[in-house]
Amino acid sequence: MSEKNLDKKIIDIFREKEKVNIGYIVAGYPSVDFTKQFLQNLDNTALDMLEIGIPYSDPLADGKLISHASFLASEAGVTTDTVFDLLTEVKNDISKPLIFLIYYNLIFAYGIDEFIKKCCEANIKGIIIPDLPYEEAFEMSEKLRENNIALIPLVSVTSGNRMRKIISQGDGFIYAIGSLGVTGSKQVDLPRLESFINEIREVSDLPVSLGFGIKTNDNVNTMRKYADGVIVGTSIVEFTQKNDVDYVIQKINELFK
């Protein structure tokens, strides 16, 4: 096994690369074995970092396809512990930063301190929590910062005056939601998107990555004109339905070429 840089942080990737490619998968979908094989081959993909969704019964930010994948993984018995065990097993095979996308109820049920401890053991570099409001995020952000894990803030075109506050808790990069709906929704028009990104840059020096509604290579190349990173979720989860790691890698590499 080649030497891996297991200590590389999210912000280091943005410093090294002009544009950053970020993907998303649902842990345990379509199977735990598929997720394991994909993670072991992550370094063969065009992705610079990977978001891993932990299955949850009520994924409010996710569109139909990702919600269904999450439901199927949950029904198959994939739990937070399943994901931690898997990541701990394969972490030495991965040099690219891993990010959890997880709903706060799962963290709360697990116990914040124990959850963060397990994240450190699994070499998680960042966490996105869609249902954690700014007013309740301070404890989480402080504890994550103490453990060198980035709390990645989510802001949308509707965040308005709350944007500065939301971003103030964040590290790593800013996740800019480019649509008015859940994952897989149609994006807002490009002039509004450009204005939105400019608004973010006025209040933060963190890199900005665009997600939601980015599905094709054309979408990716268009969004690269506006943001430092591009996030694709729904299309990649759709690729994983084939349960074929080589196929998924090929499609990801075509998506981000």
Catalytic residue annotation: 51, 62
List, in order, residues 6 or more apart from 113 with CB less than 8 Å away: 143
Output 67-74 pairs: Cβ under 8 A, ≥24 positions apart: 69/26, 69/29, 69/30, 69/237, 69/240, 70/26, 70/29, 72/29, 72/30, 73/26, 73/27, 73/28, 73/29
